[in-house]
Amino acid sequence: MKRSSKGSKRKPLPEEVQCPACGGCSFKHKTTVFPFPLPTGKVIDVAGVHVQECLDCHELTPTYEGRMKLARCLETFLSLPG
């Protein structure tokens, strides 16, 4: 028996709490195809990105998890030859 877990469970994901477009704070979470602009100026569609959709203006903001996925996609893309 081990009881190493300390009861304090912090909120792990620093998510946006306000819509960057309208400042609203009501969101619907979903997984969708997210158009991701590369440093090269090209925009790629990344499927299965966790986003929160503003209920007021329908702006899509990737969640922390979503941003991690986009970062991985970027890494993969940059490591491709040519």
Instruction: Enumerate binding residues for Zn ion (CB under 5 A).
Output: 19, 21-22, 24, 54, 56-57, 59
For 31, the token pair is 């997984």
Q: In this structure, what DSSP letter does residue 29 have?
A: E
CB of 64 to Zn ion, least distance (A): 18
Which residue, 21 or 33, has its beta carbon nearer to Zn ion? 21
Three-state SS at 48 = strand
Which residue, 22 or 71, has its beta carbon nearer to Zn ion? 22
Spatial distance between the Cα atoms of 59 and 36, rounded to a whole number of angstroms: 14
Which residue, 25 or 33, has its beta carbon nearer to Zn ion? 25
CB of 34 to Zn ion, least distance (A): 16
CB of 67 within 8 A of CB of 16? no
